[in-house]
Structure 1
């Protein structure tokens, strides 16, 4: 169904019973850790495997009908954890983490397919959380590309600065680089400020 028609039905009939909430961002920003926190809190089950190796998530992971609660409101979401978006996947990057060359090349191909799959899924998103690593400089080609694609499709964005538990974290740099978006700073690993993020999700999807 065309997006404008879906939006019209939503306005006429008082909103949706559930929304597709995608978690996007570059590799290793903590997307799957955050997806696991949300999924485990409201369903008792994790969504995906976490690893320090880039592109551990190489295909879309889904958890349907997750009822999120915040500020005396409930929102049912289909939660989707996306492969990391990047402009280049190099098999040698996997080898830096001790992966054998043969396996690294397989992972590289899978990761490339995952990037394409994640981009294709944008047409099905109602709202997107973009997770950035607050220990890294935020204004770069990958981040601008992700946000630009979402804006082009008129998809609501919640920008999340993750890893604020680390000493070198600078979430304000992310806020200042992209001030136009709803914003939350969290530590998915330590579950810090997660309730504030839930409130932002509820507010953005009203």
Structure 2
């Protein structure tokens, strides 16, 4: 894309925003630790704004505070939506400092676990009070029927929030999208690999359709 075309596109997006009264919708990215939430948030942000949201890591609870990327305009199949992406910490029922001792000293592990616990509380606050819709990310190589997933999906349904379930990591050998579809048949499940960028066209199409 040439410089002139990029400039024209940017001006067009700003103009569109100036002449609309709609506020961006806050879309929370939720799910258990290490499901690939930040990887997905970064891919969406880079694809549509050129900037990432936060650091990615194989260590659980790398995201310990909710991070927000504003004014992400997604366009697909004649539909468009402007959203604020809220990348939330992974939700779990218990954070044990021993999860981190292979990667860091004990004092650092204890501090990390405390921060992660606070992050879970913050994620729950956002879900109960401050999001307009949810992208729920699951590792498709893991069993989706857990206490945390059942609880969070129940809270989302009780708030009557629009929700898309993303079956992430389809590039893994043990991936099973059907297992997730069978676990939550009442919601649309979209397969993808956020890391490899597989099936992102459908991801963006469904985001524009569900949250637009």
TM-score by length of 2: 0.88
Gaps of 5+ in 2: 1-19
Residue matched to 2:124: 119
- Give runs of ≥4 in structure 1 deviating > 6 Å: none
Residue matched to 1:202: 208
The alpha carbon displacement at 1:77 in A equals 0.5
Residue matched to 2:110: 105
Cα deviation per residue 1:119-165 (whole Å; 9 max; x = unaligned)? Answer: 00111111100000000011111111111111122111100100000
Whether the aligned pair in 2 keeps the contact of 1:182 and 1:200 (CA below 8 Å) is no
The alpha carbon displacement at 1:72 in A equals 2.1
Using the alignment, how far apart are the partners of 1:125 and 1:108 within structure 2?
Answer: 25
Counterpart pick for 1:165 among 171, 194, 197 = 171
Matches within 5 A, 1:69-88: 69-88=75-94
Gaps of 5+ in 1: 1-13
Matches within 5 A, 1:1-206: 16-96=22-102, 98-122=103-127, 123-206=129-212
Report the number of matched residues.
192
Structural RMSD (CA): 1.3
Using the alignment, how far apart are the partners of 2:132 and 2:189 within structure 1?
Answer: 17
Structure 2 residue matching 1:34: 3-state secondary structure: helix
Using the alignment, how far apart are the partners of 2:141 and 2:188 within structure 1?
Answer: 20
Structure 1 residue matching 2:85: 3-state secondary structure: strand
> Considering only CA atoms, is the larger Rg found in Structure 1 or Structure 2?
2
Using the alignment, how far apart are the partners of 1:90 and 1:69 within structure 2?
Answer: 41
Using the alignment, how far apart are the partners of 1:118 and 1:106 within structure 2?
Answer: 18
